[in-house]
Amino acid sequence: MRLLPPAPGGPRRNQPGHLRPCGPALLLLLLLLLGGCLGASRAAAGSRRPNVVLLLTDDQDEVLGGMTPLKKTKALIGEMGMTFSSAYVPSALCCPSRASILTGKYPHNHHVVNNTLEGNCSSKSWQKIQEPNTFPAILRSMCGYQTFFAGKYLNEYGAPDAGGLEHVPLGWSYWYALEKNSKYYNYTLSINGKARKHGENYSVDYLTDVLANISLGFLDYKSNSEPFFMMISTPAPHSPWTAAPQYQKTFQNVFAPRNKNFNIHGTNKHWLIRQAKTPMTNSSIQFLDNAFRKRWQTLLSVDDLVEKLVKRLEFNGELNNTYIFYTSDNGYHTGQFSLPIDKRQLYEFDIKVPLLVRGPGIKPNQTSKMLVANIDLGPTILDIAGYNLNKTQMDGMSLLPILKGARNLTWRSDVLVEYQGEGRDVTDPTCPSLSPGVSQCFPDCVCEDAYNNTYACVRTMSARWNLQYCEFDDQEVFVEVYNLTADPDQITNIAKSIDPELLGKMNYRLMMLQSCSGPTCRTPGVFDPGYRFDPRLMFSNQGSVRTRRFSKHPL
């Protein structure tokens, strides 16, 4: 397909805004004017800066086998590069997590707290304050990259109160964005600010395939004088789980995993988990099994997309100079602790995601156990482009030294996970026996969220410890702690049995991370040799552990 003109404000060929090939001296001068996206010696040598592709799926878990259907993706990206076995999101919900990817910041710094305009999802405030400082905007304005986006952006993108589909975020040369949330048919795309409706004809409308074709078109018709960045954001495996026709009968004998925390009561957990009915009804189990199967079916088209993309890059002679990242915006659960289907919870199945990377200088068949988060993607991609990360206010760290096999690397031992629950302060009419404020309720009154399902966690890993410490903002000031070495399914909350001194240190570390910004988000964690702890900061006159309270209002 022929690529449409760039987004308004983006480069146009044969016009002053479009970069042309230039000699080493002019290239060096240009790079210095753009902010020094490459070291002088490399720029003077005239070497071509790497391209970058970021593939982002929607609600794809890692813990419950979410990568199993993606055989081509694992072979073409994972086996040809590095797989991260400990990759996390700072918030297990689409819009806050996607905002963290784009900004390299924790939710308390980008202020997107849920999927609504009121929660700052694609709001006017987001557009004014955060969008100009996203890593694609920096790549475009400071590093001279062509930037291409296709797929789901943020859940409220295209809302009339947020500028409609005419709004094209700063920094994107080519813009093909889905209006609002994931769909497969009957959707509208913003094509560089102009609406294009799609129907339900598979050959021309199935969104995953449309994104593949648009992306291949970009690779064929882009400028060859600039490096490029592509972000392809598929609807799969998000609901409504509509698979391509050729895949709708696959995985007929597949069921949601019956792991140790499947369909058991969430004893000693937050009240929202405790309210789930155990055992689940037969209808709920049938529903989640069907959802699990359909989710896998939708991912087969993503697998095809990845194969087409890699083959086209290879055919065009660009594969060896291109980094390809594959990840998801959050995990997902299907029956764990008797919660039928959703995300939003603090447990591994919701906050842990796949992350596979291949590219120049990355050895094949590598697995990294380093603790990483999606706030690291922006810094990593800017680092690949040669941008000085000290000029950003990002909370994350560049993964490039890990990808290149650096030894004796000083790395973090913890990351922050934070979530502000959604729900109205009224009783759900379908579940009058439950307290006000619940949401995402199933017919049997099992609710997946509530306005006070508001928590923050420190997920920490070191040579000796594999822990998660969480606090809730509710009347209980509830605390959950898990030792994932002994209890990987997070069944036993050890908050009341763990060493009080360690509990205090984790509490203090959580307070520090919740107020961190930029470099302070990368200070030593509790199990780092450089960690400093003053126990006097942790205890009130009554001798109880002091906990940090959360705001009950959107940030």
- 4: which DSSP letter? P
**From residue 511, how far is each of 371, 372, 416, 476, 548 by CA, in Å?**
20, 20, 10, 18, 6
Say what the pLDDT of residue 433 is.
78
| Model pLDDT, residue 319 | 98
Fill in the DSSP letter of residue 534: -
Give the Cα separation of 247 and 301 in Å (integer).
8
Q: What whole-number distance in Å separates Cα of residue 189 and Cα of residue 7?
A: 13
- What is the spatial distance between Cα 146 and Cα 228, in angstroms, rounded to a whole number? 4
**What is the per-residue pLDDT for 35?**
54
Distance CA 318, CA 296 (A): 30
pLDDT, position 40: 30
Annotated active-site residue 22? The verdict is no
Dihedral sign computed on CA atoms, order 193, 197, 201, 202: positive
Residue tagged active-site, from 37, 94, 95, 470 = 94
- How far apart (Å, rounded) are the C-alpha atoms in residues 128 and 44? 36
Phi, psi of 509 (to 5 degrees): -65, -40
> What is the rounded CA–CA span in Å between residue 350 and residue 92?
6
Query: Which pLDDT belongs to residue 435?
Result: 75
pLDDT of the chain, 555 residues: tens digit per residue: 455 667 765 544 333 233 333 344 344 445 445 456 864 334 334 468 999 999 999 999 999 999 999 999 999 999 999 999 999 999 999 999 999 999 999 999 999 999 999 999 999 999 999 999 999 999 999 999 999 999 999 999 999 999 999 999 999 999 999 999 999 999 999 999 999 999 999 999 999 999 999 999 999 999 999 999 999 999 999 999 999 999 999 999 999 999 999 999 999 999 999 989 999 999 999 999 999 999 999 999 999 999 999 999 999 999 999 999 999 999 999 999 999 999 999 999 999 999 999 999 999 999 999 999 999 999 999 999 999 999 999 999 999 999 999 988 999 999 999 999 888 777 777 777 777 788 888 878 888 998 889 999 999 999 889 999 999 998 888 999 999 999 999 999 999 999 999 999 999 999 999 999 999 999 999 999 889 886 655 554 433 444 444 444 333
Q: pTM of the full predicted structure? A: 0.92
pLDDT (0 to 100) of residue 374:
98
Rg of the chain over all Cα atoms, to the nearest angstrom: 23
CA neighbours within 13 Å on the CB side: how many for 307?
11
* Spatial CA neighbour of 293 closest among 66, 456, 134, 85: 66
What pLDDT does residue 415 have? 98
466-472 vs 479-483, strand pairing mode: antiparallel
Secondary structure of 421-460 in HEC code, one letter for each residue: CCCCCCCCCCCCCCCCCEEEECCCCCEEEECCCCEEEEEE
